[in-house]
């Protein structure tokens, strides 16, 4: 009987996927703690980092991948919404110091597939927002009616590797759009990956196409009504500025759509993508449906009451 129990114990130990440690957390080596932290969700990590300075350092050293993160705020409240592994997390606060202490942790450890920024009121006079050295790590970034100065501050806090940036501006902010083009490291100095895009949709009367070109007069390779090609400091890469124009979205259209894309210096004009509908719909999925619907009336059955009123 004793022999059978020993055999069973041996089989159980061998079949266990991960070793079991019969010890206290504080006695575990750092490498084991890091493996445990890697399996924790965000609330568990936040609780652990409050226990001791050593645990805080371990927690802060581990990245967390998020599908989506949204940071927003106004003069009354700040909010954070996070999505990870099909779980949603949120936090609200009317205390600016508390909010940014928490957001700086998320900024330090977070790796975002999609990142949305929407701070309506200026934060540029807030030292913690401006001087913090942490950088956002994100693949796709969207600014949704964000204060312009806040947007510039965040753009300067993005790590390399951003594939697309989308900006939605208010009517009063489009005149400042050229300031984005003047950030040299974003377009000229950075060795950005080919295919990296920056998309903008703005409401205005006069387009920003010419305003952009004025910033790079000595770098224009070619220009036309819909496109301009610009040299970077990398000899094998250019930037292609495209204006979204077709049979529906015309040059006189109130909403203007622009896309900048890093391309190979070897790309020929015959290889340009002529159909802009796909990338415009990424910014405004319903715009074509809306304007196509304006060309026809909705049909309905005969209504005798309406007919009589019209005849009278």
pLDDT value, residue 8: 38
**Cβ(282)–Cβ(225) under 8 Å?**
no
pLDDT value, residue 106: 87
Q: How confident is the model at residue 257 (pLDDT cuts 50, 70, 90)?
A: confident
pLDDT value, residue 312: 40
pLDDT digits (tens, 9 = 90+) for 203-238: 665 445 676 677 778 889 998 888 999 999 889 999
Q: For residue 134, what is the DSSP state?
A: -
CA distance 36 to 266: 48
Look-up of token digits 């609200």: 92
- Within the chain, what is the greatest distance between any pair of CA atoms? 103
How crowded is residue 39: how many other Cβ atoms within 10 Å of its Cβ? 8
pLDDT value, residue 208: 59
Show the domains of the chain with their CATH numbers.
Answer: 185-297 (3.30.310)
**End-to-end CA, the chain:** 103
Tell me which of 163 and 227 has the higher pLDDT: 227
**Cβ(255)–Cβ(284) under 8 Å?**
yes
pLDDT value, residue 229: 94
**Cβ(249)–Cβ(228) under 8 Å?**
no
CA distance 29 to 2: 35
**Cβ(239)–Cβ(261) under 8 Å?**
yes
CA distance 4 to 204: 82
CA distance 179 to 148: 10
pLDDT digits (tens, 9 = 90+) for 245-256: 898 888 778 788
pLDDT value, residue 9: 44
Tell me which of 113 and 202 has the higher pLDDT: 113
pLDDT digits (tens, 9 = 90+) for 50-104: 898 889 899 988 899 999 999 998 878 899 999 998 889 998 988 888 888 888 8
Which residues pair with residue 201 across a beta bridge? 168, 257
Give mean pLDDT, residues 279-304: 66
3-class secondary-structure state, position 67: strand
**Cβ(82)–Cβ(109) under 8 Å?**
no
Tell me which of 49 and 308 has the higher pLDDT: 49
pLDDT digits (tens, 9 = 90+) for 4-58: 444 434 444 445 555 555 678 888 888 999 999 988 988 898 899 889 888 989 9
pLDDT value, residue 183: 59
How crowded is residue 275: how many other Cβ atoms within 10 Å of its Cβ? 8
Token pair for 116: 């949305």
Instruction: Give the chain's mean pLDDT.
Output: 78
pLDDT value, residue 185: 60
Share of the chain above pLDDT 70, in %: 74
Which of 159, 97, 87 lies closest to 123 in space, CA to CA? Answer: 97
CA distance 85 to 105: 19
């Amino acid at each position: 009987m004793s022999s059978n129990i020993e055999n069973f114990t041996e089989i159980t130990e061998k079949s266990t996927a991960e070793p079991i440690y019969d010890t206290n957390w504080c006695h575990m080596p750092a490498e084991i703690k890091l493996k445990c932290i890697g399996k924790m969700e965000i609330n568990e990590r936040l609780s652990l980092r409050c226990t001791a300075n050593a645990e805080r350092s371990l927690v802060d050293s581990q990245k967390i991948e998020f599908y989506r993160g949204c940071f927003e705020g106004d003069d009354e409240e700040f909010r954070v919404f996070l999505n990870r592994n099909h779980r949603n997390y949120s936090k609200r606060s009317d205390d600016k110091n508390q909010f940014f202490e928490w957001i700086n942790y998320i900024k330090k450890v977070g790796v975002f597939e999609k990142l949305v920024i929407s701070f309506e009121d200026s934060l540029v006079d807030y030292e913690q927002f401006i001087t913090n050295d942490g950088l956002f790590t994100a693949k796709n970034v969207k600014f949704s009616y964000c204060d312009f100065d806040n947007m510039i501050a965040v753009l300067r806090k993005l790590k390399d590797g951003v594939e697309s940036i989308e900006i939605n501006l208010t009517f009063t902010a489009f005149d400042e759009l050229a300031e984005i083009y003047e950030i040299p490291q974003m377009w000229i100095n950075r060795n950005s990956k080919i295919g990296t895009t920056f998309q903008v949709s703005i409401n205005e009367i006069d387009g920003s196409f010419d305003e952009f070109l004025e910033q790079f007069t000595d770098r224009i390779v070619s220009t036309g009504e819909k496109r301009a090609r610009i040299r970077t400091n990398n000899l094998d890469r250019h930037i292609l500025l495209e204006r979204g124009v077709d049979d529906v979205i015309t040059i006189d259209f109130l909403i203007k759509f622009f896309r900048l894309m890093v391309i190979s210096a070897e790309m020929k004009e015959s290889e340009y993508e002529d159909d802009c509908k796909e990338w415009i719909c990424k910014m405004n999925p319903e715009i074509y449906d809306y304007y196509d619907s304006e060309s026809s009336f909705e049909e309905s059955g005969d209504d005798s009451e309406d007919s009589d009123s019209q005849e009278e």
